[in-house]
DNA sequence: ATCCTCCCCTAC
DNA sequence: TAAGGTAGGGGAGGAT
């Protein structure tokens, strides 16, 4: 089997600040000291502390992203990256200095990889500095001759900036002390020439039962972990533990693993987690197994499927080395303590006869089986046995579907007698691993799987097709794979207990009860029918991490997994476990108790794997959940919509304007051209004169330039004339007349305006001075400027700059300041003449800021109050408190959707590639793609015709929703930024405008005469769905209705239910939208608070005319204040459908409006003014003038 | 008709 | 003390 493979090198993290383990040893030490003060054995108090710290942590992170970011930057200052460990993959064993986490960071930062679990197929070097006796023995069985080196090798290599020969870093001490090891390595040492050249080892020393030693594993309580122990602070103790550290000290030490002070908590946690092991095993497997060739099997052939599953896997791997346990009931668990809240991972068959099952608490298991022996995990053993298992399986069939580390399906159709193949496999497995496996053989996956169950332990069983029926007959429903607890209960409730019961029902009935797919599956499975095919590994669909703690750590973990998988992700889902209301502290140590799960997701316009971005996203997602952090029991972050980085280049290529035009010349250009509707389909450019100037104008500069180049510059003049017109309009319209008054900056700006025409500031002249600058940043700009053909805009230069790679050479303060001034002046000069260019430069600036520190600083100088590039998630309703009413835009429909377009050409080739034409910073109207209206249909049809394509997979709608803090200090700049930086979803923009129009003052409840406008009493509710029915107990307003209120969170369908209810009962009903699981008490409290607040300030509680016409943000939470406007009247009927469809005009108008406001924003930014919200009146007035 | 989000369920 | 992770499938209800 060709296991030899080149290891995919994961790209080094771009931003060093994002890596792990940046904390200093000192801080760790003090952290551990703190834990020591906490007293021992008092787990209740521990828990309280845990919760408190968790609270502080989250509070700090969620509420103050700026601060945390700042810290991260500080930490990252001196970090560097390189590629010196390219191709090297280390496994750290035992306690080391630097710690295993630090080594991990170093490796990742310098191009290497780090394996948590040892595997000879992936690991190239083993690092350790100090090994317990028993570990050394173990080495013989697993190191397989790989070099065992001291960590100094890594540290020194980094210090000198290249890979040092490792020969002198071998662990001599150990060789000399340990005859077994030294003799073993003695032969190998001669071979080493000291480079990273590591041969594929034949398994010389493999699986010699006589040489292996009884595992050191848990031969006594308190020594539960023998696997790969290491710790940054307690390493020495760790070794002592093996020699019998006192129980108390040991506990103390252990505790540091679980405190929140431990910066490596997540890492450590995972290291000991069986579920993490299982969950991540597939990744490791896929990394080693080469892409299996697509095997085409004769469909007419009768299928033979073999299902192989190791018997009580986790147990047998451990017990094979411990004959003294033969015949005894054994379970695998970390701890054998009296508390007994550890979980049994697997139990052997002896134990199972007592009723011990995987997942049981030790406590419970001991009740069933008092003599149960508890053994510790041997993750490395599992890894090795799995490696061997799969090696054998792949030898026997080209088509292997890995289910987990101990089980797989093989398709052996037409390859001879499946039963003898199965027994050969089982025999080989036993010979190679001394663990037994069972096998099921049948015609499909389902039956093979069921057969295995019957065959266990250590047997095999075949279900021939003709026997299938009988076999299925009396099978209890819960035996069917896929039927778990919930489904079983549902089935039992319907009095369906066996498959024969199931077979009495029609497929329709089942579908009705259980949903389309599930029903159908039940119908088929009850009959022994299963159409699933044995599948080789598929492209992964999601990557995630779940843990108990730490948004940032979590983000980094996920980001590093993304990098490892060489993908970018676009959709981020945060999953939070929250204490169920009423539930107490968890019984289980570190458990989460009874919880509700909440999840939130957001989608970025383009993929990322940056831990920086991820951690900001996670903070925001977390923040948007509005949780009381004391109730948080677990947080997970999942990334979906993965984009393969290796395809990205190609995808980018697709977005080049040229290829775009070339690929589909007619449709897209036609839409925007004035004449000659039917041109030839030749991939030729239409004459320049046929191109609508509007189209040109709306193109982002880079695309425009590309097009312009294609037209050899002809277009520039067209655009120019258009621009001149535009600027005329602006001036005639006295666009900024209203700002001409008082403020100091106005005069500055006025000057700037003068400058523009009198050419005081000459961009190109200034730029040419940069040629000799010391600053690389400035020189680069100059160089690009000279290389660009007849540059007209600075953005052209920045575009190129943005596209070229950035070496993060430190820039001096001077050059930063020069650069900032230059950009500012340029912006000032064009501020009134070239709106597009202004926005182009700003966007590019922000993009550049994400790429290099220098530009980041420039960006901060030019736009001190504008956020650095960051797509702001989340789906909260926007509340704007101090914007003018813009009635003309109320209800307008704008739609700026982006689509990934399927390239029909590629579809024809049988491949599909997402090709996104919308990139961050360059919002593109959907019309450009002609995907609006009929456009989408066309694409979908084309795709569907060429094969069974899941359009969901291939036409990917990107949308981004804009979030704004729902509280008072609304930052207008931020919103406009987001509008520009972010793709805008039709409904959301509508929402935005709606909200902008509605709130003309600070958010006030309409309480005029009645302070306690409303108050509720909860009646009943469905906790699961976050629904609560409340009774209105106080309602004096006369506006909101009396009766029952449905409060719910993210369950928009309730609104229709409410409508129905209203019709039926003739009672008044309203809905509440809230992002928090709405507790009536919260609502009431909030209502009162607002009222009291307003009254105490003596402010009138105004009512806005339109308050009650305000649509609920469709299905969205509006924060607490939105509640009120929804309360006022149900407006479900007024959904977006009601709005007028007048797309292109509205598109343009609204874009223009937004841009004008944007301009105002920049205007003030450049003038160094603070808040601009008050100036929006001017902007919108100007905008309206422009619109007419 | 199809997609999307926010869940839930299941398996190892 | 224990280390309750990971990832795919799928349903409900709403949006388009
Ligand atoms: N709730 C669970 C289920 C399984 N596992 C681990 C331990 C098992 O050994 C391994 C494989 O799972 P199996 O379902 O194949 O169970 P076993 O191999 O232990 O037993 P069997 O002989 O039934 O296959 O996964 C676990 O940790 N927790
Ligand atoms: Mg098994
Ligand atoms: Mg299994």
Give the DSSP letter of residue A327: T
A980-990 mean pLDDT: 37
Reported as a pLDDT band with limits 50, 70 and 90, residue A476 is: very high
pLDDT at A435 over 50: yes
Q: Is the CB of A45 under 7 A from strand C?
A: no
pLDDT tens, residue by residue, A1131-1147: 211 112 222 332 233 33
The structure's pTM equals: 0.45
A957 touches strand C (CB under 7 A): no
Question: Is residue A591 over pLDDT 90?
Answer: no
- Higher-pLDDT residue of A770, A267: A770
What tens digit of pLDDT does each residue of A123-132 get?
A: 888 887 765 4
Alpha helix segments (H runs only) across A535-684: 551-564, 611-625, 645-655, 657-663, 665-672
Spatial separation of the C-alpha atoms in residues A908 and A985, rounded to whole Å: 31
CB-based burial, A666-675: b 16+ in 10 Å, e otherwise: bebbbbbbee
* A1068-CA/B4-C1' distance, Å: 31
> Tell me: the pLDDT tens digits for A258-307?
334 566 676 778 889 999 899 889 888 877 775 555 566 666 778 999 99
Q: For strand C, which residues in window 337-366 of chain A come within 7 Å by CB? A: 337, 339-343, 345, 362
Same fold, A301-465 and A467-534: no
pLDDT one-digit tens code per residue, A782-821: 888 888 877 788 888 888 887 776 666 677 888 888 888 8
**Measured CA to C1', what is the nucleotide nearest A406?**
B12
Q: Who contacts A209 (Cβ-Cβ below 8 Å, separation ≥6)?
A: A434
Residue A403 CB less than 6 A away from ligand 1: no
Task: From the candidates A102, A407, A546, A983, give the one annotated as an active-site residue.
Answer: A407
CA dist A1110 and A507 (Å) reads 45
* Strand C closer than 7 A to residue A388 Cβ: no
Alpha helices (H) in A664-758, listed in sequence order: 665-672, 693-698, 701-710, 714-732, 744-758
For A94: left if phi > 0, alpha if psi spans -120 to 50, otherwise beta; the answer is left
* C-alpha A296 to ligand 3 mean position (Å): 27
Nucleotide whose C1' lies closest to the alpha carbon of residue A517: C10
Note whether A898 and A918 are within 8 A (CB).
Answer: yes
Burial class (CB in 10 A: 0-12, 13-18, 19+), A82: middle
Residue A1094 has which token pair? 């307003």
Which distant-in-sequence residues (6+ apart) come within 8 Å of A8 by Cβ? A287, A566
Listed range (A413-417, A836-840, A1038-1042) with the worst mean pLDDT = A1038-1042
Does residue A409 or residue A27 have the better pLDDT?
Answer: A409
Kindly state the average pLDDT of the residues A350-365.
94
Closest by alpha carbon to A90, among A141, A139, A129, A124?
A124
SS (H, E, C) A455-469: HCCCCEEECCHHHHH
Would the CB of A314 count as within 6 Å of ligand 1? yes
The proportion of chain A whose per-residue pLDDT surpasses 70, expressed as a percent, equals: 41
Architecture of the CATH domain A542-647: 2-Layer Sandwich (3.30)
Average pLDDT over residues A880-889: 16
Instruction: List, for residues A629-649, the tens digit of each pLDDT value.
Output: 666 777 777 777 777 666 444
The pLDDT-based confidence of A705 (bands split at 50, 70, 90) is: low
Residue A407 known to be catalytic: yes
Q: How far is the CA of A957 from the C1' of B3 (A)?
A: 9
pLDDT of residue A355: 94
Which one of the ligands is nearest to A273 CA?
Answer: 1
In contact, A906 and A887? CB cutoff 8 Å: no
Q: Is A484 near strand B, with its CB below 7 A from some atom of it?
A: yes
Cα–Cα distance measured from residue A178 to residue A180, given in angstroms and rounded to the nearest whole number: 5
pLDDT at A71 over 50: no
- In this predicted structure, the answer to whether residue A1088 has a pLDDT above a threshold of 60 is no
Q: Which atom of ligand 1 is nearest to the CA of A359?
A: 1
Phi then psi dihedrals of residue A1047, to 5 deg: -105, 135
Q: Where do we find the tokens 């593109």?
A: A924
Rounded Cα–Cα distance for residues A585 and A592 (Å): 8
According to CATH, the topology of domain A301-465 is Alpha-Beta Plaits (3.30.70)
Mean pLDDT, chain A, as a whole number?
58
DSSP string spanning A1041-1086? PPSEEEEESS-THHHHHHHHHHHHH----EEEE-SSPPPHHHHHHH
The domain ranges of chain A are 82-174, 301-465, 467-534, 542-647, 763-868
Q: What pLDDT, on the 0 to 100 scale, is given for residue A614?
A: 76
Give the phi and the psi of residue A906 in degrees, each rounded to 5.
Answer: -70, -35
Q: What is the CATH number of domain A467-534?
A: 1.10.150.20
**Share in percent of chain A as helix, strand, coil (round to 5):** 50, 10, 40
Question: Is residue A449 in contact with ligand 1, taking CB distance under 6 Å?
Answer: no
Q: Output the CATH code of domain A82-174.
A: 3.40.50.10190
CA of A520 to C1' of C10 (A): 12
* Subset of residues 985-1024 in chain A with CB less than 7 angstroms from any atom in strand C: 985-987
Confidence (pLDDT) at A91: 83
Assess whether pLDDT exceeds 80 at residue A507: yes
């Amino acid at each position: 089997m060709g296991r030899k493979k080149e290891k995919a090198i994961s790209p080094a993290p771009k931003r060093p600040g994002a890596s792990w383990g940046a904390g200093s040893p000192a801080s760790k030490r003090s952290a551990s000291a703190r834990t020591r003060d906490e007293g021992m054995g008092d787990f209740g108090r521990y828990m309280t502390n845990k919760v408190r710290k968790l609270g502080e942590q989250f509070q700090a992170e969620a509420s103050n992203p700026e601060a945390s970011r700042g810290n991260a930057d500080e930490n990252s200052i001196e970090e560097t990256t390189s590629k010196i460990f390219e191709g090297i993959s280390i496994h750290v064993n035992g306690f080391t200095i630097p710690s295993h986490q630090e080594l991990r960071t170093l490796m990742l930062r310098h191009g290497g990889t780090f394996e948590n679990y040892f595997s000879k197929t992936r690991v190239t070097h083993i690092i350790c500095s100090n090994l317990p006796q028993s570990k050394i023995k173990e080495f013989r069985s697993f190191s397989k001759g790989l070099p065992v080196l001291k960590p100094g090798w890594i540290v020194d290599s980094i210090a000198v900036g290249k890979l040092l020969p490792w020969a002198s870093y071998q662990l001599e001490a150990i060789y000399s002390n340990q005859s077994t090891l030294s003799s073993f390595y003695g032969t190998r040492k001669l071979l080493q020439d000291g480079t990273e050249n590591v041969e594929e080892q034949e398994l010389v020393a493999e699986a010699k039962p006589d040489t292996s030693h009884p595992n050191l594993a848990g031969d006594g309580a308190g020594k539960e972990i023998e696997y790969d122990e290491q710790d940054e602070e307690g390493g020495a103790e760790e070794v002592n533990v093996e020699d019998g550290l006192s129980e108390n000290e040991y506990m103390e030490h252990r505790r540091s693993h679980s405190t929140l002070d431990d910066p490596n908590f997540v890492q450590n946690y995972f290291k000991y987690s069986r579920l993490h092991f299982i969950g991540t095993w597939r990744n490791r497997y896929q990394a080693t197994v080469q892409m299996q060739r697509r095997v085409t099997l004769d469909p007419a052939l009768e299928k033979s499927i073999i299902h192989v599953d190791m018997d009580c896997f986790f147990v047998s791997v451990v017990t094979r080395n411990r004959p003294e346990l033969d015949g005894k009931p054994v379970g695998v668990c970390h701890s054998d303590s009296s508390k007994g809240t550890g979980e049994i991972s697997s139990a052997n068959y002896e134990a199972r006869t007592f009723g011990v099952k995987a997942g049981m608490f030790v406590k419970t298991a001991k009740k069933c089986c008092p003599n149960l022996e508890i053994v510790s995990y041997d993750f490395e053993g599992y890894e090795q046995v799995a490696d061997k298992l799969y090696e054998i399986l792949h030898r026997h069939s080209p088509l292997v579907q890995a289910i987990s580390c101990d089980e797989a399906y093989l398709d052996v159709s037409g390859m001879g007698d499946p039963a003898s193949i199965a027994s050969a496999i089982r025999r080989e497995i036993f010979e190679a691993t001394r663990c037994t496996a069972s096998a099921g053989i049948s015609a499909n996956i389902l039956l093979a799987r069921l057969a295995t169950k019957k065959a266990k332990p250590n047997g095999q069983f075949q279900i021939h097709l003709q026997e299938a029926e009988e076999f299925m007959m009396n099978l209890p429903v819960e035996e069917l794979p896929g039927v778990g607890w919930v489904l079983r209960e549902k089935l039992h409730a319907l009095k369906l207990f066996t498959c024969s019961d199931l077979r009495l029902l029609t497929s329709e009935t089942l579908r009705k009860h259980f949903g389309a797919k599930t029903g159908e599956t039940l119908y088929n499975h009850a009959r022994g029918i299963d159409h699933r095919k044995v599948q080789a590994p598929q492209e992964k669909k999601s990557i995630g991490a779940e843990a108990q703690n730490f948004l940032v750590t979590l983000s980094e973990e996920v980001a590093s997994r993304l990098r490892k998988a060489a993908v970018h992700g676009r959709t981020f889902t945060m999953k939070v476990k929250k204490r169920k209301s009423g539930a107490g502290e968890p019984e289980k140590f570190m458990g989460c108790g009874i919880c509700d799960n909440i999840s939130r997701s957001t989608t970025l316009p383009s993929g990322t794997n940056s831990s920086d971005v991820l951690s900001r996203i996670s903070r925001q997602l977390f923040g948007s959940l509005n949780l009381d952090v004391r109730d948080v029991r677990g947080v997970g972050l999942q990334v979906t919509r993965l984009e393969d980085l290796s395809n990205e280049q190609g995808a980018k290529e697709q977005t080049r304007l040229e290829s775009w035009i070339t690929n589909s010349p007619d449709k897209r250009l036609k839409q925007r051209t004035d004449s000659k509707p039917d041109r030839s389909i030749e991939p030729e450019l239409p004459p320049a004169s046929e191109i609508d100037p509007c189209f040109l104008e709306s193109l982002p500069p880079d695309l425009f330039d590309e097009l312009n180049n294609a037209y050899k510059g002809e277009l520039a003049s067209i655009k120019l004339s258009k621009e001149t017109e535009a600027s005329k309009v602006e001036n005639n319209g006295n666009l900024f007349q209203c700002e001409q008054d008082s403020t100091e900056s106005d005069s500055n700006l006025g000057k700037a305006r003068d400058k523009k025409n009198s050419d005081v500031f000459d961009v190109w002249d200034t730029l040419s001075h940069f040629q000799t600058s010391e600053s690389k940043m400035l020189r680069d700009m100059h160089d690009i400027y000279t290389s660009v053909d007849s540059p007209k805009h600075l953005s052209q230069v920045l575009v190129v700059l943005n596209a070229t790679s950035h070496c993060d050479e430190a820039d001096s303060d001077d050059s930063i300041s020069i650069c900032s001034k230059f950009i500012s002046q340029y912006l000032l000069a064009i501020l009134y003449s070239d709106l597009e260019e202004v926005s182009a430069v700003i966007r590019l600036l922000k993009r550049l800021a994400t790429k290099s520190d220098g530009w980041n600083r420039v960006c901060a100088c030019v736009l001190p109050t504008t956020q650095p590039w960051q797509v702001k998630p989340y789906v909260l309703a926007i509340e704007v408190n101090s914007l003018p009413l813009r009635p003309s835009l109320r209800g307008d429909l704008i739609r700026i959707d982006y689509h990934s377009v399927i390239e029909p050409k590629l579809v024809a080739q049988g491949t599909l590639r997402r090709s996104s034409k919308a990139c961050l910073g360059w919002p593109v109207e959907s019309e450009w793609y002609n995907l609006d209206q009929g456009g989408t249909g066309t694409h979908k049809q084309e795709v569907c015709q060429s094969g069974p394509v899941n359009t969901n997979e291939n036409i990917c709608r990107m949308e981004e929703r804009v979030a704004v803090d729902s509280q008072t200090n609304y930052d207008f700049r931020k919103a406009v930024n987001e509008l520009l930086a972010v793709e805008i979803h039709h409904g959301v923009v509508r929402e935005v405008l709606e909200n902008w129009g509605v709130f003309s003052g600070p958010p006030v409840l309409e309480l005029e005469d009645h302070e306690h406008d409303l108050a509720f009493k909860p009646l009943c509710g469905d906790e699961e769905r976050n629904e609560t029915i409340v009774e209105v107990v106080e309602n004096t307003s006369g506006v909101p209705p009396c009766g029952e209120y449905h409060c719910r969170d993210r369950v928009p369908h309730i609104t229709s239910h409410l409508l129905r209810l209203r019709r039926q009962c003739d009672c008044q009903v309203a809905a509440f939208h809230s992002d928090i699981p709405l507790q009536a008490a919260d609502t009431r409290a909030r209502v009162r608070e607002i009222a009291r607040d307003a009254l105490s300030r003596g402010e009138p509680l105004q009512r806005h005319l339109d308050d009650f016409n305000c649509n609920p943000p469709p299905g969205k939470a509006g924060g607490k204040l939105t509640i009120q406007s929804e309360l006022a009247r149900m407006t479900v009927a007024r959904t977006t459908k009601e709005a007028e469809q007048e797309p292109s005009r509205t598109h343009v108008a609204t874009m223009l409006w937004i841009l004008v406001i944007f301009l105002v924003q920049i205007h003030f930014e450049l003038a160094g003014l603070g808040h601009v919200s008050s100036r929006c009146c001017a902007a919108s007035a100007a905008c309206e003038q422009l619109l007419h």
